Amino acid sequence: MNREILERTWAPLTAGLVPEPLDPKIRLAQTSHIRLSRDGDTITKIDLGGKIAALGESAEATTALLAQLDGSRTLDEVAVALGWDLADTVDAAQDLYHLAVVENVGDTIVPAYPFFKHVSMVGRGVMARLSEDISEAGHFIKTLMSGRPTRRLVLGYLVEMYHIVVRASLHIAPTINIAPNERLRMMLCEYLADEYWHGLWLKKGLNAAGLTDEEIERSDPLPCTLAAIDHLRVAASNDLLAYAACISTAEGEGKQDIERHMHRFAQLQATSNLTAETVNPFRDHEIADCIAGHFSFVAEMFADAPPINHQRQDLIRREMLAYIRCLEEQHLEIERYYGDSEDGPALYTTAWSPKRAPAPNQTIRLADVKKEFFVYDCGALDGYRREHLPGAIWLDYSAITKRAFPDDPLATLVFYAGDEDEHCEIAANRARQLGYKNVFVMTARPSTH
């Protein structure tokens, strides 16, 4: 990093801002993404998604409070039920609300800044859940960071990051036009300037990987990358706070986030054969964002906003979650396009079209299927539920990733779909694309009797 962080041209408000208390008439209930650890009946830890809150001496009180926060009672009613002071009840519930352990399920208006603290934690928690091994996106991240991915896959991931950064003007510029005051306009201009020169860094990293300026300029974002950019652009043109909530899911600040990015990119370089000259500009971009406090930029959009009614709270939350889903699909599409092989284009362009795989020419009779084979039913799910070959696994033929299959590329995979043979062909072709050698299509509908 060779550019000093310039003094801000706007006065931050959030540094000394004390969140306004929640209305005692608010009704709160537990959010869906958190997980609770218990010792007997007592909650000892709260897994927020990427962050663990250990309760310690507050464990019993938090357990009692969460038992009351089921969406049916207001906070003043909860205080009476627990025999607590109302102010203490509101303070304790507000701490849980800020951590996104609970959410507003009534129609109560919430002050803007406390809502930001809540919704940004919801976004980060959901993002962390998608990065877990149980999700396909989480499998992709694990492969990228510790699974010895191909050079092409890692480089493709960096290329898509580049496209997001260099297109930042598409969504930051509209916010400058709708910002309600000069302070926010200056802040957003500074944000836009940061992303512009960060894009120049990232291009140098791609150059170090052997990509020419002409190749980079002629490349296009993958469709799901473009969808994520367009989602931000639309939000930025219509609702500044919804846009800010979306951005909050990726921006960071402070020493902890800097250390996380240092570790992340060190792992990324270690698992690929890309040079430090390629990876470090992408690392430095994230670190510079933390040093500049881009997360605090987002918080500033809520700092002097008026209280938010429940309808708009719901809209902001849904816009943010939809953006996260775009990022989830982007990860899956990077894996689909760049795959597990070094073969194929280094960069995506809209002129690219996939090669048509030949129709499967291997068939197998039901009598030949043995127990050690992996058998997949590619028909409709309701049909599978009614009847299927014993031991068969239902497979969504239209959304197949490598996680659907065993690790061994020599494993025998058998596909059937009753009267929908084209589903088998699609699934079998996809299995071959993923490197499996022994792929069969079972002819005719199997009997379960």
Q: What is the pLDDT of residues 136-158, one digit of tens each?
A: 666 777 777 777 788 899 999 99
Domain with CATH 3.90.930 in the chain: 21-104
Task: Identify the residue whose tokens are 């894009």.
Answer: 199
Q: Read out DSSP for 32-97?
A: SS-EEEEETTEEEEEE-SS-EEE-GGGHHHHHHHHHH-EEEEEHHHHHHHHT--HHHHHHHHHHHH
Say which range, 59-63, 287-291, 320-324, has the weakest mean pLDDT.
287-291
Quote the Cα angle for 25-26-31, to 5°. Answer: 160
Rounded Cα gap, residues 403 and 162, in angstroms? 27
DSSP H helical segments within 179-309, as ranges? 182-208, 213-218, 223-238, 240-248, 254-271, 276-292, 294-303
CATH class, range 112-338: mainly alpha
Provide the pLDDT for residue 366.
58
Read off the pLDDT of each residue in 186-202 and give the average, rounded to a whole number. Answer: 89
User: What single-letter DSSP state applies at residue 199?
Assistant: H
Provide the pLDDT for residue 244.
96
Provide the pLDDT for residue 364.
62
Provide the pLDDT for residue 137.
64
Residue 423 has pLDDT above 80, yes or no: yes
Provide the pLDDT for residue 25.
96
CA 356 → CA 360, 361, 399, distances in Å? Answer: 12, 15, 17
Rounded Cα gap, residues 361 and 440, in angstroms? 8
Provide the pLDDT for residue 134.
55
Q: Which stretch, 39-48, 216-225, 252-261, 412-421, has highest mean pLDDT?
A: 216-225
Q: What is the pLDDT of residues 254-291, one digit of tens each?
A: 888 899 889 888 888 888 888 999 999 999 999 988 88
Domain with CATH 1.20.910.10 in the chain: 112-338
Q: Which stretch, 126-135, 271-280, 357-366, 436-445, has highest mean pLDDT?
A: 271-280
Domain with CATH 3.40.250.10 in the chain: 363-442
**Is there a contact between 151 and 342 (Cβ–Cβ < 8 Å)?**
yes
Amino acid identity at 13? L
**Is there a contact between 416 and 377 (Cβ–Cβ < 8 Å)?**
yes
Say which range, 281-290, 305-314, 381-390, has the weakest mean pLDDT.
381-390
> To which H or E segment does residue 30 belong?
strand 27-30
- What's the fold here for domain 21-104? Outer Surface Protein A; domain 3 (3.90.930)
Rounded Cα gap, residues 431 and 401, in angstroms? 9
Q: Give the side-chain half-sphere CA count within 13 A for 354.
A: 10
- What's the fold here for domain 363-442? Oxidized Rhodanese; domain 1 (3.40.250)
Crossing angle between the packed helical segments 151-166 and 136-146, to the nearest 10 degrees? 110
Between residues 43 and 146, the one the model is more confident about: 43
Provide the pLDDT for residue 424.
86
